[in-house]
């Protein structure tokens, strides 16, 4: 046997022993000991490195842009999400009432905060009263009741009398379905009426009024099971909504606006934490060695056992280690 053959045989024997050693280290109690040892050692050294040293912000932006903007999303996602949603709302857990899910104390806190946002209420009022769709619907309604000469009914609607007056009383009520002027007058009346409604709404909706209205909605729904609340949306409508939201996301994800938001968020995070040591960063976010060990042991053992039972664990280790034992450097050492 030549020295080369002898070195090759020894390399093969060492490779077998090394693979067996690593398998023992990755299974059972040995793996638990190994994870705890390595995690605690890594954290003990984490004060020597900062976030910016380990991961550059441009790399993070590139990854974020990939998955937000360019990553190909399967077209089946809306259907899958819709199916999951329909299965979830059929679950017995939906016998839980609204009050059990959202206690009144929490509802009061949310309502109180929302009621303190007059800008939000004003924005909503403006969007509704200046909506072309709302104005068109109201104009058609006003024109219909005028054509039917049902002004008594019209005047029962708050503000309609004023709207009819400002609109020239829809040509005195003497209009026909084909009269173009009736349309113009109805549109003017609708616009005037919406402006009055908006002014009245903003005057009357105090913080207390808004809070009372919103809590009233909660009180009426408090005893309802979530099944009843969710029943308002049919399965077909839910799937359609998922498809619409998915299409909207596909449009939004390619916009420069979303990329700018991603960049701004990453920049802020790095400006704040980029020079912070990794151990301090983990502490800042409430993570310690026990948390990292717990998560490593939550998933890894089962995955490793599955690989071992399938005969793949040994193959993976052998592929990783064989290159060293076959290397000229290792062979030279083993021949000497």
Residues 113 and 190 in one domain: yes
Structure token pair of residue 307: 């690989």
Domain count, the chain: 2
Q: How far apart are CA 187 and CA 150, in angstroms?
A: 18
Residues 111 and 45 in one domain: no
Q: What confidence score (pLDDT) does residue 13 get?
A: 92
Residues 39 and 108 in one domain: no
Closest CA to 122 of 194, 195, 191, 198: 198
Q: Residue 178 carries which DSSP code?
A: T
Q: Is residue 299 part of a domain?
A: yes
Residues 298 and 188 in one domain: no
Residue 294 is part of which domain span? 3-49+277-335
Residues 44 and 105 in one domain: no
Q: What confidence score (pLDDT) does residue 138 get?
A: 78
In tens digits, what is the pLDDT along the chain, a chain of 336 residues? 455 555 578 889 999 999 999 999 999 999 999 999 999 999 999 999 999 999 999 999 999 988 888 777 676 777 787 788 888 888 999 999 999 999 999 999 988 888 888 787 787 778 778 888 878 887 777 766 655 545 555 555 544 554 445 444 444 444 444 455 667 777 777 788 788 777 777 777 777 877 888 888 888 889 999 988 888 777 777 777 777 888 888 888 888 888 899 999 999 999 999 999 999 999 999 999 999 999 999 999 999 999 999 999 999 999 999 999 999 998 888 877
- Domain end among 163, 194, 224: 224
Closest CA to 15 of 332, 304, 320, 274: 320
Residues 289 and 194 in one domain: no
- Domain end among 192, 209, 224: 224
DSSP string, 1-28: --HHHHHHHHHHHHHHHHHHHHHHHTSH
End-to-end CA distance of the chain: 14
Q: What confidence score (pLDDT) does residue 2 get?
A: 53
Q: Is residue 220 part of a domain?
A: yes
- Give the relative orientation of helices 312-325 and 3-25 as an angle to the nearest 10 degrees: 140
Q: Is residue 265 part of a domain?
A: no
Residues 12 and 115 in one domain: no
Measured in degrees and rounded to the nearest 5, phi and psi for residue 90 equal: -90, -5
Residues 45 and 106 in one domain: no
Q: Is residue 68 part of a domain?
A: no
Closest CA to 273 of 281, 264, 265, 262: 281
Task: Give this prediction's pTM.
Answer: 0.67
Q: Is residue 256 part of a domain?
A: no
Q: What confidence score (pLDDT) does residue 1 get?
A: 45
Residues 296 and 192 in one domain: no
Q: Is residue 266 part of a domain?
A: no
Q: Is residue 216 part of a domain?
A: yes
Q: Is residue 272 part of a domain?
A: no
Tell me which residue has tokens 């979830």: 88
Q: What confidence score (pLDDT) does residue 171 get?
A: 43
Residues 114 and 218 in one domain: yes
Residue 312: Cβ-neighbour burial (10 angstroms; 0-12, 13-18, 19+): exposed
- Domain end among 224, 255, 288: 224
């Amino acid at each position: 046997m030549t020295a080369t053959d002898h070195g090759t045989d020894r390399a093969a024997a060492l490779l077998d022993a090394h693979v067996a050693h690593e398998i023992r280290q990755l299974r059972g109690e040995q793996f638990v000991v190994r994870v705890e040892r390595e995690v605690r050692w890594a954290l003990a050294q984490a004060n020597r490195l900062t976030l910016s040293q380990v991961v550059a912000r441009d790399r993070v932006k590139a990854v974020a842009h990939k998955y937000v903007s360019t990553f190909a999303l399967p077209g089946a996602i809306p259907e899958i999400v819709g199916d999951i949603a329909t299965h979830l709302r059929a679950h017995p857990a939906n016998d839980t009432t609204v009050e059990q899910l959202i206690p009144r104390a929490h509802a009061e806190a949310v309502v109180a905060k929302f009621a303190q946002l007059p800008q939000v209420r004003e924005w909503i009022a403006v969007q509704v009263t200046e909506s072309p769709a709302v104005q068109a619907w109201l104009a058609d309604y006003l024109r219909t009741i005028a054509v039917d000469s049902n002004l008594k009914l019209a005047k029962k609607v708050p503000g309609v009398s004023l709207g009819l007056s400002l609109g020239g009383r829809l040509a005195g009520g003497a209009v026909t379905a084909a009269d173009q002027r009736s349309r113009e007058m109805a549109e003017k009346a609708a616009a005037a009426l919406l402006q009055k409604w908006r002014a009245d709404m903003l005057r009357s909706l105090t913080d207390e009024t808004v809070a009372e209205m919103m809590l009233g909605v909660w009180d009426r729904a408090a005893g309802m099971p979530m099944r009843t609340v969710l029943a308002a949306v049919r399965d077909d409508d839910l799937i359609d909504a998922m498809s619409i939201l998915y299409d909207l996301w596909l449009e939004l994800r390619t916009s420069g606006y979303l990329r700018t938001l991603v960049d701004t968020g990453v920049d802020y995070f790095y400006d704040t934490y980029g020079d912070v040591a990794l151990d301090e960063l983990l502490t800042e976010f409430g993570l310690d060695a026990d948390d990292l060990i717990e998560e490593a042991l939550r998933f890894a053992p089962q995955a490793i056992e599955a690989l071992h039972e399938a005969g793949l664990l040994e193959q993976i280790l052998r592929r990783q280690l064989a290159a060293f034992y076959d290397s000229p450097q290792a062979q030279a050492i083993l021949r000497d």
